[in-house]
A and B are shown apart, each in its own frame.
Chain A
Amino acid sequence: MTTAHGPSTPKIVQDLPVIDIEDISFWYGEHPALRNVTMSIERHGITAYIGPSGCGKTTLLRLMNRMNDLVPRIRMTGSIRMNGEDIYGPDVDVTRLRRRVGMVFQQPNPFPKSIYENVAYGPRIHGVKSGGFLDEIVERCLRRAVLWEEVQDQLEESALELSAGQQQRLCIARAVAVEPEVLLMDEPCSSLDPVATSRIEELMLDLKEDYTIVIVTHNMQQAARVSDFTAFMLHGELVETGVTDAMFTTPRDRRTEDYITGRAG
């Protein structure tokens, strides 16, 4: 009995959950990565996954926008529903799904193009052609990612010239440009210094007004600072999930307590 089930998950938002994960198990070849994971992602909140390396939290995150489709020899059972629709269903358009579920990666990965083209990339492939409209989108998204003031005079310069922290905010602006509902963040601050990290954290708190954010992090202080809900994973299993404050003060599971107090993991 290691999974926390839906009914015990506290609800502070009136709406239904955005994403329902139900009994997901997952294997890379013969190697099991996830075992019977069931939980919900609440709308307009920040949900943080914590746990030691290799516990499956990144794998779970990448299942939510089907990024693992690109990996050969994988197997999955269970279902993930977004707004009630099975995202692994036969009629699902993966590119449309990924447009609704954006992703920011562990390492900043801007395209080797100009700052402008990085942000405009998503809208362009989804059919925006008008230059004036693109300009508006680029400015709005860069402002949303609190990057506009720093880069407004160098939009045509290479994105690779930016600092790592600026690159990561550019990646957030790029993800926001396709207007997703959910923003998945896979350890977005692990390669950043403390100043850049705190700027990203402020940005996340700001963004949750409009987006549902799911973040994977190694950093328990970060989870405590920014998230509304926390899920603790261990060896491919979901040990405990709940409201962040409650979980960090009164964890229900012994293993969670060991991990957050630094005795294990």
Chain B
Amino acid sequence: MGSKWSKDDALIWLSGGGLVLCFLMVAGLVLVIAVQGLARFWPQDLTRYVLRDGSIILGHETSRAGVRTIGSAGERSVAYRLRVETGNRERYPQGYVWLEEARIAGQDNPREAVVVEQVRAGEIFGFLDSFVDDGAVVARGYDAVRAHYQAQYPELERLRRQRALSIVLSSADGRQHTVSLANVRHIYAPNAMTAWDRIRHYAAGAWSFLWTPPRDENRHGGVFPAIFGTAAMVILMSVVVMPFGILAALYLREYGSPGPFLNAVRIAVNSLAGVPSIVFGVFGLGFFVYFLGGTLDRLFYPEDLPAPTFGQGGILWCALTLALLTLPVVIVAVEEGLAGVPLKLREASHALGATRFETLWRVVVPVVLPSILTGLILSVARAAGTVAPLMIIGAVAFAPELPVDGVWPFVHLEREFMHLGYHIFDTGFRPAGGEAALPMAYTTTLLLLVIVVVLNAAAIGLRSRLRRLYSLSAGQA
């Protein structure tokens, strides 16, 4: 008796421990992404570091790392250094510097320090020196320049087309830098901001992240084209995958007679779900892009050859490839739904003289509708999170045009497009841009995570509604 109990206990602890471990890993991942992704729009204080050698650097600390050092006498010690974001990429190409704490003589947070968000070339940290209007200095000093800028702001668009407006910034160590107002998106002084200012700044940043196109090689700006491209591609995919998936499931469950053939089809469908997604990408490239696209080009766009129209990666081919990828999800969901339709409902319909088709269309399909919607949402969630095949058949880091616009024929299925998943890959791992775009990757990851979680939650909600429906009809009987 005793040994039996201890085995039970061990199993409980083991399985409970496994659950806790899983939960902690997921929670940790989500926490890291959420903290990094959400912090991006919060205005951070600018710090002026005065170094022992007399140089002065303005920036904000992003991390602190310990470095082991061995002194001349062989004693070991740990020195800390700060990673300080500096902006001003013309002067600091990487956008950050490492500062050993031992080198820092003093630091403060000057209220007048401003961040200038540029349209191109990132941010500049510095102090407002003067406002120049067609070569003439019209304001000098922090308060005057700021007041002048704010007074002009409503008309800035018009004014800067007529006159050459610029702002002269002085860096922490006194060097002057002129910025044309045409290149300025926004100026703010983070150290002088109240909590309310910061919240407004945060909200505006988050808003423009969602609704504006990227700037500066995806380092700044928003992800609107990526959201739009992902949504358009997924909608296109749903339109293709749903009819095929539903019809296949209907055949498997309603019309096909059980036997080796149906079993083989089921095994094939389930295996399809296990094929690595990059294999679908290779298939899409070979079959859709080269074969179908190439044929279409020869038949309908011969005047453009050798420049490909459909014979290159594009949103249509991505949608078709992902439709293949998510087909098993739809088939399995709809088949489960069909299997759940009680026999007594079908019998009731047949007993009234309904044909097989009438029964299917008027009784079975309405009951299965929630399952169909569940399959749709699951396949959309899967498609929104799949990146690998898209990298070789049409998703790009930066697409100048949306796949839908005002130019005839308005929908351009052959165009390459931006995709949230590919955007993460591009901003997070692109070697050329260094780490400048890394914060962007976290925010986009968070966005994609939120989209997928919302879709899955909707699927679960639908499924539980479906179960309630059955328990009602079965429970009363």
Contact = CB atoms under 8 A, between A and B. Distances in A.
Q: Do A and B bind each other?
A: yes
Interface of A: 65, 67, 70, 95-99, 102-103, 105, 107-113, 121-122, 124-126, 160, 163-164, 167, 171, 174-175, 178, 191
Given A70-B347, A112-B366, A164 B354 contact: no
Tell me what chain B mostly uses at the interface: helix, strand, loop, or mixed: helix
Contact of A109 (B348, B354, B367, B472): B348
B476 A70 contact: no
23 contacts: A67-B350, A70-B346, A70-B347, A96-B353, A97-B353, A98-B351, A102-B351, A105-B351, A107-B477, A109-B342, A109-B348, A110-B348, A112-B345, A112-B367, A113-B366, A121-B352, A121-B362, A122-B353, A122-B354, A125-B353, A125-B354, A126-B353, A175-B351
A125 B476 contact: no
Nearest to A177: B352
A99 B350 CA distance: 9
A108 B351 contact: no
B469 interface: yes
A107 B476 CA distance: 9
Interface string B436-477: 000000000000000000000000000000000100110011
B362 A125 contact: yes
A112 B348 contact: no
B349 interface: yes
Contacts of B477: 107-109, 164, 191
Contact of A167 (B355, B367, B476): B476
Interface in B343-386: 344-355, 358, 362-363, 366-367
Nearest to B341: A112
B476 A99 contact: no
Contact of A99 (B352, B362, B363): B352
Contacts of B342: 109
A121 B270 CA distance: 37
Interface of B: 342, 344-355, 358, 362-363, 366-367, 469, 472-473, 476-477
Contact of A174 (B352, B362, B472): B352
Nearest to B343: A70
Contacts of A103: 347, 351
A167 B348 CA distance: 13
Contact of A125 (B345, B352, B367): B352
| Interface hub of B345, B347, B473 (most chain A Cβ within 10 A) | B473
A12 to B, nearest CB: 29
Nearest to A126: B353
A107 B345 contact: no
A144 to B, nearest CB: 16
Contacts of A70: 346-347, 350
Nearest to B363: A111
A67 B352 contact: no
B353 A178 contact: yes
Contacts of B362: 121, 124-125
Contacts of B354: 95, 121-122, 125
Given A96-B353, A112-B469, 16 more contacts: A70-B350, A98-B352, A98-B353, A99-B353, A102-B352, A107-B477, A109-B477, A110-B348, A112-B367, A122-B354, A125-B353, A126-B353, A160-B469, A160-B472, A175-B351, A191-B477
A126 B353 CA distance: 8
The 8 closest A-B pairs by CB, nearest first: A99-B353, A107-B477, A103-B351, A109-B344, A122-B352, A98-B353, A95-B353, A160-B472
A105 B351 CA distance: 10
Nearest to B359: A125
Contacts of B363: 111
A262 B348 CA distance: 34
A169 to B, nearest CB: 13
A159 to B, nearest CB: 9
A108 B352 CA distance: 14
B348 A111 contact: yes
Q: Which of A121, A126, A163 has the most CB of B within 10 A?
A: A121
A109 B352 contact: no
A67 B347 contact: yes
A191 B477 CA distance: 7
Contact of B473 (A125, A160, A178): A160
A165 to B, nearest CB: 10
Most buried by A among B345, B346, B353, B354: B353
Contact of A112 (B346, B355, B358, B473): B473
Contacts of A105: 344, 347-348, 351
A5 B378 CA distance: 62
Contacts of A109: 342, 344-345, 347-348, 473, 477
A117 to B, nearest CB: 9
